[in-house]
Amino acid sequence: MVNASDISEHMEIVGADGVHVGKVDHMDGDRIKMTRKDREHGQDSSHHHYVRLAAVASLDGGKVWLSADAANAGQLFEEEDGSPVEHE
């Protein structure tokens, strides 16, 4: 199990396939609050998304590795109120 205290600001979040999906803003309870802007990777959201610590498979190489690959990682994302992020 991953320890929340080992996750720090600006760590890269990657899918199980190693593809970038976001960056850590900070921990918010048992969820990672993701940065809303990540210009390096074309992300410019109007608000933050969250991912539960339970969806993190491991921490390795200074990265947060999710249990899903990047193509499916968006299904793990939540809004601030805990509801799923609506995908187009």
Q: Which of 23, 34, 35, 27 is nearest to 5 (CA)?
A: 27
**Within 13 Å, how many C-alpha atoms sit on residue 52's CB side?**
12
The pTM score is 0.89
Q: Is residue 87 part of a domain?
A: no
- Show the domain range for 41: 4-78
Q: What is the CATH number of the domain that holds 57?
A: 2.30.30.240
- Segment 18-48, tens digit of pLDDT: 999 999 999 999 999 999 877 665 566 678 8
**Arithmetic mean of pLDDT, 45-54:** 88
Total domain count for the chain? 1
Residue 56 scores a pLDDT above 80: yes
Q: Is residue 45 part of a domain?
A: yes
